[in-house]
Structure 1
Amino acid sequence: MRIQKANLSFRDPLQPLQAVTKIIIHHTAENGWDIYKTHDFHQNNRGWSGIGYNYFLEEDGTIYEGRGLYIGAHAKGYNTESIGICMSGNFDDYDPTPVQMVSLHWLCKQLMGQFSLYSDQVLGHRELDGVTKTCPGTRFSMTELRSILFRINRQ
């Protein structure tokens, strides 16, 4: 498994992450949005420099670098210390694809190792203070994800 580069251009220079204390999981909450549609929406509708997420997982399990290891725009008040991973789909209505979950587990394991993070430092966007969204969706179990990551990390 590997992380692929997407051909994205950002309006402003990106600033490197200094310290990572959390991984924050998101969903697009839209059907069929890929990294390019999400990038376009963030740039042209939100007025951001470009896609706010550090990494993006397509429905087919492909992992793309969004902002990579640069400060994101995905969780107000947490961007300078977190990595945002977004998965394509609306997990209020349906479950992530099995290959998305395999990719998510792999990517989280890589990032947890790189930044010495534990499974309890992997949070759903909805678990952050002040967030009222269901992100990453009511059908997405953060408890189950953390349990799997805990087991993976002990291997």
Structure 2
Amino acid sequence: MPRHATARYATRSLNAIRRVVVHHTVTRDNVTPERIAQVQISQGRAGITYHFLITGDGTIFQTNALDTVSEQTVTPAVNADGVAVAFAGNFTDVPPTAAQISSGARLVAWLLQELKLTADVVVGRSELENVGSPGRQWLMGARWKEILLQAMQQL
């Protein structure tokens, strides 16, 4: 995975993690994590800003260790206590693919179990900051937050 030549993200104890923050990449759904990292490094970040990336075919990439404090938002407290799960694509007008929802449900359920958290800590970035991610379809329209949480319950 590409990393900045000198900048590094801080680390944290896994006990510091309090939430799972869902993002969308506003790219094609087959974007590679390496490509995202290259773009984000060119914008001055230490590396890719997500901990996980789920592509359109449901492939899950772990892009940072869970103890990494990545720059996933502009809010330091969210960066310090959040795990960033990005779904590749733009979900302004359409929801993620069925494969992404299925993989995302398995990943988020696993994260909650491993970190001893409950489903109420799963939030979209737009629920924390005035941004469009993870797309309008997260809470309105397709309401893919509900779809994701329901898929998790069925595991």
TM-score by length of 1: 0.83
Identical pairs, percent: 23
1:15 to 10, 13, 27: 10
Written as runs of structure 1 = structure 2, the 5 A alignment for 1:1-155 is 7-11=1-5, 12-18=7-13, 19-32=16-29, 33-44=31-42, 46-69=43-66, 70-77=68-75, 78-128=78-128, 131-140=129-138, 141=143, 142-149=145-152, 151-152=153-154
Structure 1 position 13, deviation (Å): 3.6
CA-CA distance at 1:148 after TM superposition: 3.8
Between the aligned partners of 1:147 and 1:120, the Cα distance in structure 2 is 12
Q: 4+ runs of 1 displaced by more than 4 Å?
A: none
- Secondary structure at 1:64 match in 2: strand
Unaligned runs of 5+ in 1: 1-6
Q: Deviations over 1:73-111 (max 9, x none)?
A: 112221110100001100013221111111100110111
Query: Which sections of structure 2, spanning at least 5 residues, go unmatched?
Result: none
How many residues were matched structurally? Answer: 143
TM-score scaled by structure 2? 0.83
RMSD between aligned residues: 1.7
Question: How far, CA to CA, are the matches of 1:145 and 1:43 in structure 2?
Answer: 30
